[in-house]
Structure 1
């Protein structure tokens, strides 16, 4: 008897259990070379086909001419490793694998031939399982959604797998989408690397692969981290490369001694944004733990949002009350009316922050901190802005000392909140 768990590294054991229990719809697996994520997904697909009588699978790559030597062979490996060769029949034209006891199929398609994708039909069941291999090669999440809209019909339960090696730059659409996926309840995100394989099954990779990886580690650690660990190392143009994602407990938040509050005005499409953070000057550490965002909200509505955010208890079980903390805001002409409403109707202590020639200085101050700790669950929009901010490039794609405006509403709110500290520094 062959156990599927014996063919999977421990890093994927809980993922395998989740897949078979249908704990999620989307499985977002990314990592470096040799992380066995593709092998794992191919095993999952075979197991789902034989355990779900109505499940067929569609395996998609960006280009159809890459299917035969990659995902097609990968599925055949999974069938063989599970000892199920006698239960499947493989064909190349059309490229498909049939589960003989029921007639269920695993078909392979390239996204460069949309007619073949739209024409996928099954005599038994529906396309319950879809695998996007080398996801970063697709033309964006809209293209992926379009394919899913064509395939996800005729059933209620779906398993969608995504696998890729992350591009270097955080600006890549697939890296940005991954940030959003970590916040979605229907998605399981897991990163893996060859080190997860070496710990338990180095023979799966072989000595030449491991030697090559370790050589690159010695001569170019940044390249090794990207290529073999699947880390997003950036292109060297990040404005703020001192950002750390960390879960901040409510107990820790309640015990911050120096809290700071900032507002960036907005209506639409630019949002109104309120951010709360804490400052630890001895450690030169900024911690961002709360954010609120809104579009097309009046000053009365955003003022109430701010009051609600500042109304909390100091200890568990105590009555919440409004904390009369100072709030710093963007000093704009249209912001003066909003400041007046905040002060008159809500009693909020709010002041306009100094702006003249302060933008570059405040960015340099943030970049010079030892750590900017952001809770990505409590502050997903802020975390995304901080790690995505890059310098401009010139026509030759050379970095220049200029920070582009836009997509920085949380950053601006933080800059206003910390402006007094920046000036003291």
Structure 2
């Protein structure tokens, strides 16, 4: 291994991940809460192992390829800098790729837009024996993972091992990941749970946020703080299923669009087709992105909806005016007293079919719950966190909730 100075790994990696770091079986699976340093630790481990094993290559995967640059790619660059070995690595962004210069080993990055294309990946030097699936909860179809799994195959040189590292937040206890990796025992599987309590690099302010979450939002704290599986009791919507809606989109004739604005939170655009005679709602498209300008948001909305109306959060009146100036047909939601409860009740009256690519919406609707009072009793107020696309869905459905058809424009 080429390191400029001797490095004491515990000083760089910290505590809480010894078993994860040393495991050599095929499936190294780690679920964790916010701030659990699972992604940073995974990135450090991969850079360390790449420099230790000169014939190994790594494939890094997320559901959507464009999300890799600002997540895994950035974390791996951070790990290289943390080890102070920048001079030994080269990286490029088009396409995303990293090369360990002393040997020519590669770290390749792919999105799960077409899992069959991933299975044909080859490397020029050594073997492709490792893979990292980040935010694995986004992969809703277990068969897609089975196809991915086939990309790590073949005879290995002596001393190497095949391994998947699978990292995710445990938003939904119904996800296939729980059944496949956490509800079984196998020498090929290490399934661990970590949380912010093992992250010694969180400051006092970070810890205070978790303590406040523990006090005011105990259910969220259990999942986002402690890394437990998301609760399924008390969910608001149980009238939804995941499907592949792409073949149906050309026939959608009553499409509605909703937009929830974000500043620190993401902007959330949702699109659905409404079939009153069938009592069905088809959620077929989402856009979920923060940290962008209004110009960028307008361009994305126009690209997706064309000249159709978009019902927006009326609290963003200035944003609505600006979007209109930029050519978006933005209209404010009526909202008003009781509109949240009425909108939820209206949506509960329909079968909601969600396209499997709408992973953020699926995460939200899986975990959308009623608040509980101080005595643990369920109220009629939703928790109001991680609900941006659901809010957008309520805004989009306002015209049909009240019998209007203004926004229903064929795409």
TM tier, smaller: 0.5 to 0.7
**Is the 1:27–1:160 contact (alpha carbons within 8 Å) kept by the matching residues of 2?**
yes
**Structure 1 runs (4+) greater than 3 angstroms displaced:** 113-116, 394-399
Superposed CA deviations along residues 75-103 of structure 1, whole A, max 9, x for unmatched, are 01111111111110011112111000000
- 2:233 matched to which residue of 1? 236
**Is the 1:135–1:162 contact (alpha carbons within 8 Å) kept by the matching residues of 2?**
yes
Alignment pair present for 1:5 and 2:10: yes
Whole-Å separation in 1 of the counterparts to 2:68 and 2:92: 13
Whole-Å separation in 1 of the counterparts to 2:90 and 2:114: 24
Alignment pair present for 1:165 and 2:169: yes
Alignment pair present for 1:210 and 2:230: no
- 2:122 matched to which residue of 1? 121
- 2:28 matched to which residue of 1? 27
**RMSD after superposition:** 2.4
1:154 deviates by 4.7
- 1:187 matched to which residue of 2? 189
TM-score (norm 1): 0.51
**Is the 2:115–2:147 contact (alpha carbons within 8 Å) kept by the matching residues of 1?**
no
| Change beyond 3 A, Cα 1:73–1:60 | same
- 2:70 matched to which residue of 1? 69
Structure 1, unmatched stretches of 5+, are: 239-393, 400-425
Alignment pair present for 1:145 and 2:146: yes
Whole-Å separation in 1 of the counterparts to 2:149 and 2:229: 27
Superposed CA deviations along residues 125-177 of structure 1, whole A, max 9, x for unmatched, are 11111000000101332211201213423526212100001124x22222222
Whole-Å separation in 1 of the counterparts to 2:146 and 2:62: 14
Whole-Å separation in 1 of the counterparts to 2:12 and 2:192: 18
Whole-Å separation in 2 of the counterparts to 1:396 and 1:167: 24
**Is the 2:90–2:98 contact (alpha carbons within 8 Å) kept by the matching residues of 1?**
yes
TM-score (norm 2): 0.53
1:112 deviates by 0.8
Structure 2, unmatched stretches of 5+, are: 1-5, 236-347, 352-367, 370-411
Equivalent pairs counted in the alignment come to 234
